[in-house]
Amino acid sequence: MNIQDIVVVGGGIGGTMTANNLVAKLLPEIRAGKARVSLISNSPWHYYKPAFMYVAFGMFYKNELRRRLHTLLRPEVKLLLDEVEGFDFKDSRLRLASGKDHRYDYLVVSTGCIPSPERIPGLKEAGDHFYQHDPAMQLYHKLRTIEKGRIFIGVTFPQTPNVPHQCGIAPMETTLMLDDFLRKRGVRDQIEIVYTYPTVSQLLRNCLFLQRPVGEVLPTVFESKGIKHQRGFTLSRVDAEAKVAYSEEGESTEFAILMQTPPIRAVDAVLNSGISQAPNNEGWLPTDRESLQLEGFANVFVMGDTVDLPISKAGGSCHNQSPVICDNIAGLMRVGNTVAAYDGKVQAIAQMGLDAGMPLWYDYDSDVIPTPATKIGGLMRKAFNRGVYWSVARGVV
Amino acid sequence: MTTEIAKNTSFDALLRNNPQLNDPATVQGIDDLIGKLAPLLQGQRLHNLVDLLSAVSDVVDMADDAMIQKLMKGYENVVTGAFNISNLVNYAAAQAGAEDEPPTVWQSLRRLNRDADARRGVAMTLAMLSQLGRQAREGAAVLPDD
């Protein structure tokens, strides 16, 4: 009997929930021995990566934001702890670090992205970020001891047109959390917070956020908290010794802490696949905006951070892409064509300070409509962080 | 809206001046709503809903990070348990049901002897039974009066 091999690459939120969702969708075929689902991950741990920003404020410990990957998977998912070193999309094969080849009938690429501060001279040495655990912990030690000076916040967008940086709302969230954190420490009056945004942010120019409605309310929010804001600062290099940040627009500024959303890129195996047309060796895979198929390869689907779509590189995107991919793989297997279309929907609860939250959603056609941040919103976000997230990973929610 | 309210010095003035309140559709909607609310007000049944809202509001005010952490730990434990048990039962049922002829007791025992994970499962079940037994013994023990 010809068994259909469906392989998911990546043990992050997209890959984990999709492996589980595929089993739920294809259970009749799996029970009949006609299909099997495998997940290839290079780590036995699943990390709740968006929660790394809380580490920077001393709100989460490492063990609280990770689980053993196998405990999140349905028993029908075969977990392979290995690293994909090469994608051969033409022959439907994966080359693994263990030396094995892995054939597939359908493939889901959910390999995430990698923060790459080394792509801006001096940033790795002098900058800080919260997109990985160890840098977030390093930032925490600085934030809990700083007594005076300027905390300079910046954002780097990919050079691929209309592709956002990782988790679009995170710079704004962490700016507001920082303000609360320093007030609680009693040092806010001695510390200047400066939030900056680059000249080009996806399709917008000279804004404070990548979507206009939110960008328009931000000055009022920031001014009410004494946070300075500046448009048109695209970080070009950092003098690590003098602690000075330089912009492409010709400005320079001193800082005590440089909290910079760094450049990002796809993982090495995706970069080396030769399929990406993204500039600056960023590696985003050309993805059909509706079917989520890799362009030119009907049996390959791309999701999460690896796509070249104008959609937030965040778990809230994966949550809506995963059912579309599962439906389309089932459609190809059962009726010979894809059946579902992704509408670009992303939902989240933005953390607006240490305690307040703002539920939000948007899609290809609609921007986020900002609403007042509330304590109930904050409680919803905390409940998600502490429990609901793991249900999402298991495909329960 | 806030500016509109600030301009009005009395409730009467607010009713007169607020453009939305003077919209015929708003007036019609309020009229309908009063029709629905009147029996609830007269029977003092609406009071319970207001009390409930007040209690919910109190819970929101009292909720803090520690409370959310404890509640969500319980949530995760319950969901994880249900996820694991339902998966295991369904998976095992599918495996057992797929065999044309169920194994004999001796075949099952031989398989148990060869499969370390199955033996570990038996050990786990025995450990659970042991804890159940301990709880039963302690629960049934007669305690001396204070």
Instruction: Read off the pLDDT of residues A102-156 as tens digits, 9 standing for 90 and up.
Output: 999 999 999 999 999 999 999 999 999 999 999 999 999 999 999 999 999 999 9
Chain B CB within 8 Å of residue A382 CB: yes
Distance CA A386, CA B63 (A): 14
pLDDT tens for each residue of B111-134: 899 999 999 999 999 999 999 999
Kindly determine whether residue B73 and residue A74, on different chains, have CB atoms separated by under 8 Å: no
Chain A CB within 8 Å of residue B65 CB: yes
Q: What is the pLDDT averaged over residues B49-78?
A: 95
Chain A CB within 8 Å of residue B28 CB: no
Q: Is the pLDDT of residue B1 over 50?
A: no
pLDDT top residue among B100 and A150: A150
Structure confidence at residue B121 (pLDDT) = 93
Kindly determine whether residue A386 and residue B73, on different chains, have CB atoms separated by under 8 Å: yes
Distance CA A332, CA A151 (A): 52
Q: Which tokens belong to A187?
A: 């040092």
How far A356 CA sits from the closest chain B CA (Å)? Answer: 12
How many alpha carbons lie under 13 Å from residue A232 in its C-beta half-sphere? Answer: 4
* Partner residue opposite B79 with nearest CB, options A74, A376, A391: A391
For residue A374, the 8-state DSSP code is B
Residues near B27 by beta carbon (within 8 Å), at least 6 away in sequence: B21
Structure confidence at residue A40 (pLDDT) = 98
Distance CA B59, CA A378 (A): 14
How far A257 CA sits from the closest chain B CA (Å)? Answer: 28
Kindly determine whether residue A382 and residue B65, on different chains, have CB atoms separated by under 8 Å: yes
Q: Is the pLDDT of residue B2 over 90?
A: no
DSSP structure string for A254-320: E-SEEEEE--EEE-HHHHTTS----GGG---B-B-TTT-EETTEEEEEE-GGGB-SSS-BSHHHHHH
Kindly determine whether residue A379 and residue B83, on different chains, have CB atoms separated by under 8 Å: no
Distance CA A201, CA A165 (A): 9
Task: Give Cα A192 to chain centroid, integer Å.
Answer: 28
* Partner residue opposite A375 with nearest CB, options B60, B84, B87: B60
Kindly determine whether residue A396 and residue B83, on different chains, have CB atoms separated by under 8 Å: yes
Q: Is the pLDDT of residue B9 over 60?
A: yes
Nearest to A156 by CA among A121, A197, A113: A197
Chain B CB within 8 Å of residue A242 CB: no
pLDDT tens for each residue of A49-58: 999 999 999 9
ipTM at complex level: 0.86
Q: Which residues of chain A have pLDDT under 50?
A: none
Residues of B in Cβ contact (< 8 Å) with A59: 65
Structure confidence at residue B6 (pLDDT) = 56
Q: Is the pLDDT of residue B71 over 50?
A: yes
Chain B CB within 8 Å of residue A180 CB: no
SS3 content of chain A, % helix, strand, coil (to 5): 35, 30, 40
pTM for this entry: 0.91
Structure confidence at residue B99 (pLDDT) = 85
Chain A CB within 8 Å of residue B91 CB: yes
Kindly determine whether residue A71 and residue B80, on different chains, have CB atoms separated by under 8 Å: yes
Residue position matching structure tokens 């009749």:
A28
Structure confidence at residue B3 (pLDDT) = 53
